[in-house]
Structure 1
């Protein structure tokens, strides 16, 4: 299987893997059968494998230019990626259960929102920024479909998880949304927030920047295309 057929199948399976488990309580039944840790470990491995497949299939798909790659377009992802990796590093284990990577068993305290005051969906926002930024230098049809799909999925997930938070928190939802944000730099100039969160956030942001530098230099070897502007 080659060309558009493989790419279409890979993309369909990747999208289906994120929606089918939620239908008819399938995910809950699987968790009950094998346990939460085993389920999410297997699901994470499957997601990574499908992601690698869909990206490699997009690279192998027939090349159809929608717009040319101009030198300045490579600056778009290069400027966005440091923020993307900082959001990823700060978002893993977020004390906000209604998002990707959030601690499911954690009770959210509006008085101490932590990084959720900056972004309550840092991993979804990182995915949206990553995919949106990579649209600029990738005007090939297969890549446009790939990154546009990721962008749409991440934005849809933000609204879906916010709706779940409103249903789950009921009368407490107002406090939850008042003390969190999709993306806000305001806590970074708030003395109380900085006193409680500056050290932890700085360490995680530093880890994110280290990951960014590493991925920047591994990009050519893994993807086969240099990310540096020319």
Structure 2
């Protein structure tokens, strides 16, 4: 049943990440839940299905691909701090180039923050999370799990770029050029706000360290 659950979790994952965001379901849900309600619903649904997918990978039959060594646990342990900081700087901030942004009409290319360094910060965080977790999880199910997310994060930016180009039309290229014209544009709109977000990122890292054994049954400390 382990492989069947893993396959079922993947099917549900793809369905929940495609159907709710496409017409006619998305307009129907937004009409009944509101935009914020839909965002909250979709976020909770996505996290819940992702949790199931990770748990299902742990329940799948073990097919070892390489031996575990204690040093391998330090790779995700160190990388997850970077992931949390990137996520804290990106979530809820204006970003017309990718997903995860909010109030994109208020985006200031002269104070683009992390968007100056990467148009898709959440995809970068996803790639670092997934790739770093491959190292200490050398079994087939986890390599398939984290490898798929790594590939999606690496190539997903191109798909999003094409979609954003269609949506933004002639505005996409000039705005991209303006954002990347100077490293000074990496300044945040507010240094105090950026520091607060970094502090939240560190706090999130601590929460994940504490909750990891409870959520996934494995301590990240080895």
What TM-score, normalized by structure 2, do the two folds share? 0.86
- State the distance in 1 between where 2:116 and 2:104 align: 19
- State the distance in 2 between where 1:208 and 1:195 align: 16
- Partner residue, 2:84: 85
**Partners of 1:85 and 1:209 within 8 A in 2:** yes
- State the distance in 2 between where 1:157 and 1:29 align: 26
Alignment of 1:99-138 (within 5 A): 99-103=98-102, 106-138=105-137
- State the distance in 2 between where 1:118 and 1:68 align: 36
- Partner residue, 2:202: 209
**Post-superposition CA distance 1:152-197 (Å, at most 9, x none):** 233343222222222222222223222447xxxx84xx4x754844
What TM-score, normalized by structure 1, do the two folds share? 0.83
Q: Aligned pair in 2 of structure 1 residues 33, 203: CA closer, same or farther (>3 Å)?
A: closer
Say which is worse superposed, 107-116 or 55-64, in terms of deviation.
Answer: 107-116
**Partners of 1:94 and 1:115 within 8 A in 2:** no
How many equivalent pairs are there? Answer: 221
- Partner residue, 2:221: 228
Unaligned runs of 5+ in 2: none
- Partner residue, 1:200: 193
**Partners of 1:115 and 1:201 within 8 A in 2:** no
**Partners of 2:68 and 2:138 within 8 A in 1:** yes
Unaligned runs of 5+ in 1: none
- Partner residue, 1:54: 53
- State the distance in 1 between where 2:70 and 2:175 align: 43
